[in-house]
Chains A and B, each alone.
Chain A
């Protein structure tokens, strides 16, 4: 769906989400979003990056986890003995 709106005008989605065009300057549009707390709003590219980062983080192999544990144990040792 494509709608035309002027600055200051809004679109209502599903009764309780209001999207307002706040300002238009060149090719940039400022948008105001009034939504219930339960509705997550993200810039699309940030949202996709976060999803991707989470997928990459999911279910590391056990070898990597063991290496991480060693790394953490090693860092706390080096705090007490900076020579090694």
Chain B
């Protein structure tokens, strides 16, 4: 059996096949749970110390959020039919009532391939800053 720490360190690295917009040089992130329910995740650059995004599984906050993702948009993940995971980027720079989620451009991951990208969805009505607080 592999050492648990080693497994975690290797297993949760995600290679970004196209960059998080505004962070063109960041291609490698470590994905780690922030709590036990599997709702909140941290995505931390392995290249730039201190660069972290907080991601969330959208389900608990936005139960109706199930965006159509064009196959061509995620072709870079080479997922080969593998089920993709979708997480939204949270902005939490103040009191919780001001926290928002980016529903327009979620992070899509191919967990087994350890690949990810930020997809800009074609549906322009999806909000870039959806309040978390009103969602629950």
Give the B-binding residues of A (Cβ under 8 A): 37-38, 40, 42, 46-47, 49-61, 64-65, 67-73, 75-76
Contact = CB atoms under 8 A, between A and B. Distances in A.
B52 A71 contact: no
Interface residues of B, number: 39
A79 B93 CA distance: 26
Contacts of A52: 22
Interface stretch (B2-10, B32-40, B79-87, B108-116): B32-40
A52 B53 CA distance: 14
Contact of A54 (B21, B50, B72, B94): B21
Contacts of B95: 67
A57 B53 contact: yes
Contacts of B72: 37
Contacts, number: 95
B54 A38 contact: no
B34 A69 contact: yes
A81 B9 CA distance: 38
Contacts of B53: 54, 57-59
Interface of B: 18, 20-23, 34-35, 37, 39-40, 42, 50-54, 60, 72, 75-76, 89-96, 99, 102, 104-105, 118, 120, 124, 128-129, 132, 136
Given A50-B22, A60-B90, A76-B37, 4 more contacts: A52-B22, A53-B128, A71-B99, A72-B60
A59 B136 CA distance: 24
A40 B18 contact: yes
A50 B76 contact: no
A76 B39 CA distance: 10
Nearest to A57: B91
Contacts of B104: 50
A59 B50 contact: yes
Contacts of A50: 21-22, 104-105, 120, 128
Contact of A60 (B75, B92, B105, B136): B92
Contacts of A37: 72, 75-76
Nearest to B40: A72
